[in-house]
Amino acid sequence: MAPPRHMTSEDHFPAKTPGKLRLYSMQYCPYAMRARLMLAKKGVDHEVININLRNKPQWFIEKYPVATVPVIEHDDKLLGGSLVIAEYIDEVYSKDGERTLSVDPYEKGTTNMLISDKFGKAIISVYKRLGHKENWEEDFFKYVGELDKELSAKKYFAGGDKPTYADYMIWPWMRLIGPACAIDDVLPSGKLPNLERWIEDMKKDETVKACQTSPDVLKKFCQGYHTGKFVHDLE
């Protein structure tokens, strides 16, 4: 099933269904995918309104002046920011014992440090590679290499035998890496063996499968990112 088309400045505000959570998203945005992954993980009934980020509806800007995605709206409650939303969904919609982000203050803190420090640098290096910035290799293998080191003694970023919050928060960028993907020239180097194994394991996860976009489509979108000619509706 194709995703909803991306609304533009010409579109009127779509009527809401009372009591139903709404996600304002962009189909290929990694930050928005963080929210989509958590909603899928928790089985939250929701609707998706995709936003054309190059031609945003005025009503969206008025509703959320920061004008970025993701944003969730539930009746009169509104939240923006991928990590804010992801943690909120995990806290509100998890059953007892099913949190993906640890409730232990120290474990939660170390996970958030990993996301803000190592994940943040890795994400920047992914964008440098997508934009073919000069000397991108140095930063890419340095900072994405740090993620590889994190996985040298464990299957997933928080340990354990299944993906948790940290894995889902970095997956939207790591899904771009691999054969026939937008970044197809780094795994053959052999410098990221642990990350390569982790990527293959993540592809088997049911939550990831529920939110997947084909590598061909992502590659086309990333080519537009490189040239500055974004295409929002590729499916």
The rounded distance, in Å, linking the Cα atoms of 225 and 42 is 31
Task: Name the nearest CA neighbour of 112 among 73, 84, 91, 132.
Answer: 84
Coarse DSSP helix, strand, coil percentages of the chain, rounded to the nearest 5 percent:
50, 10, 40
Q: Do residues 216 and 180 touch, judged by C-beta distance below 8 A?
A: yes
Which residues share a beta bridge with 190?
Answer: none
Cβ count near 1 (within 10 Å)? 4
Q: Are strands 71-74 and 77-80 parallel, antiparallel or unpaired?
A: antiparallel
Q: Report CA torsion sign: 140, 196, 154, 163.
A: positive
Active site positions, annotated: 29
Per-residue tokens: 193: 């063996």
The rounded distance, in Å, linking the Cα atoms of 101 and 86 is 10
The rounded distance, in Å, linking the Cα atoms of 120 and 85 is 17
